[in-house]
Structure 1
């Protein structure tokens, strides 16, 4: 379906819902383009693989393996994972995520055996070293299973693994490490949506206009919540779509307070608008399929206005990306310094017609 375009942009191709570019906001320091980012990812992966191969002893090999796994899940899959978290389900992204998750699971299996067989080398060795390895291993295993499940085709046969993986992530929802807790909540919700439990996903995520503690992941969760609430009620009369679009545009207005830099705020606002446009386009198509022509025309004009006023300058639109998919728990971010984010002052909660109090974490199905 072609959207109504203003006269001065009529010659431009119609925007597709999957036609986006991930923002440069979130690249490691010194990386300036997607080509440089891909080179950086490949070079760093080779460096970490060599560290495993060249490890001089068992302790070094265990640590190197955990760092490599963490890197695969935090950075290597980031472009694909960012698109997944935005609701784009591209076959090549599923393949990339599945491949890296599979490698991570194999490395973790090998590392578990190494940890079990490990013998301390002397009295100066940290007493809690093995316990720390086991803790990091368990956390990385939960996320590796998460992405392995998300890498499966979107069929009912994937629902079981995704629900199990969502239950595994519940252990980290209240972790004192805010970045880890946010990552667990975001990916648990993505799993639930992908497992046919969009209603549950909408309930476990925070209300759209609640204060945001982790800017990037917080925005991703609020965009996901809007989509999940709509997916949970596919036969609604359109009131949910209108409410979701209104809330997202109000969220866009707050991005200047949520994000530290004007550049990040601008990209975040555009990402809200793009999500809003997708919702409007989806509802327009549904109205047309029901032969509700007047309502469809009004919705089409609304989405066209969003396109003109918020997305018209960028084609395809540049949208927000995750800085890291999960935090680095084993080792440090490799030769980078990610842009710092700030926590905004707490805002008073506002009513949200789509919102309910978050539910307890899901339990694994019997």
Structure 2
């Protein structure tokens, strides 16, 4: 049987999928991909017809299977490298297990898939590595190449990640995160964006292989302990960069232009302020200089400077000072609070309460979480 391929010239006309639907399909990006190589003469004839009617000649045949076909995918093949080369395989993997839908998240694709191989994928999904390899290679038409190298294809180098575990010499975050199937995506993303000298502590009932792969791949230090459960402390050892004074880098702040808003922008501005990290900032663009808002953000440890660009165009640069008070400091008479809103009805009420001088005088709102 002939082996077919689809090039990047595809324009998503869907003709091939209509003629040979068992072999060609259209992905979420409206690009055709080879769902399965033909397995009989009837399918091969339909693939030939699909190739003939393709208006941009994006479908072609591998002329020499030994030299033209790609190498077989094996257990130790890197997932991201494989999918970058054969993006059509993403949907094939998703069809095998819905857990592969994680790869549709760009952050996870560039972390989990970047440091994992197909043996790792088999462990996580519960599929056999042989099923994954035969499905992928059948898709590419390289199954014969896979068979020739069995059983070497399923052999991988067993790296004991625990051997990389080091003693904790860093200051740990007081927060603990629970690792499970529901939180893995969020925790992998949190780990991958750890700033220099930052730490995250994870608790898991099972060994968090995926998270350890990411930490190891990013050259982070980590400590793993096993008692009744796993406790993993991950630390980014990179040195913090010396930043310029904030007024010299204010032009890099994110711009929040509220001039065209038809409703009170208070909640938008406040949400932005609460999401701004220490020693970072944002630029508020307004038709006037909003002194009440400036006063309120000053109470939240923001400093500012104003530039008037035009008669009705003010740029207010807000910078959040680095906190010098430890969370355990109880010398203040204010009560620390974290406000969370998951109900649309409650959200505007919370926003209005936050404008109360009396509330701000007695409550230190440390964080605002809205979803």
Higher relative contact order (CA 8 A, sep 6+): 1
Question: Highest CA radius of gyration, 1 or 2?
Answer: 2
* TM-score of the aligned structures, taking structure 1 as reference length: 0.21
More strand by share: 2
More helix by share: 1
* TM-score of the aligned structures, taking structure 2 as reference length: 0.20
